[in-house]
């Protein structure tokens, strides 16, 4: 019997980011793939040397899979995808599609959804929300 994958998250999360903490991505992927896992916690308030040894930016999530340790949610998702054809097909086209959408989700889609509702551009223009991309004429992100 193989060891369970362990997802590490905080023991407490402030009100603002609750529900948006990135360990959700790993839990979802593991559930979809049918891979057994456990969840462990690290202190939110006391991020000591042991935490930094597993995640050099003192963030979460990170995972352990036997003797493999991975930090950053995207890297963790890639590791999990290698374990399951449900998450990432093995044939070239399916694998390429999966990789491009994973990277798009992390770099393009998430960036806009995180910034979209409450941030401004460096020149103080409101960053358009995803729903308003086609109607905003701020000079960036036009559809």
pTM: predicted TM-score of the whole model, two decimal places: 0.76
Residue 132's φ and ψ, nearest 5 degrees, are -105, 10
Gap between the Cα atoms of 118 and 114, Å rounded? 8
| Closest listed residue to residue 130, CA positions, set 139, 119, 141, 138 | 141
pLDDT tens for each residue of the chain, 143 residues long:
568 999 999 999 888 877 778 899 999 999 999 999 999 999 999 889 999 999 999 999 999 999 999 999 999 999 999 999 999 999 999 999 999 999 998 888 877 666 554 444 444 444 444 454 444 444 444 33
Delineate the domains of the chain, giving CATH numbers in brackets: 5-88 (3.40.30.10), 89-143 (no CATH)
């Amino acid at each position: 019997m193989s060891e369970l994958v362990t997802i590490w998250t905080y023991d407490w999360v402030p009100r603002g980011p609750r529900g948006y903490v990135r360990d959700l991505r790993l839990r979802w992927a593991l559930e979809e793939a049918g891979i057994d896992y456990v969840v462990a916690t690290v202190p939110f308030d006391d991020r000591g040397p042991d935490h930094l040894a597993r995640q050099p930016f003192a963030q979460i999530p990170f995972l352990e899979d036997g003797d493999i340790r991975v930090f950053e949610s995207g890297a963790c998702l890639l590791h999990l995808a290698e374990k399951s054809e449900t998450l990432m097909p093995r044939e070239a086209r399916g694998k390429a599609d999966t990789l491009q959408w994973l990277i798009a989700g992390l770099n393009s889609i998430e960036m806009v959804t995180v910034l979209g509702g409450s941030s401004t551009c460096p020149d103080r223009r409101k960053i358009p929300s995803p729903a308003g991309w086609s109607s905003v004429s701020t000079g960036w992100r036009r559809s």
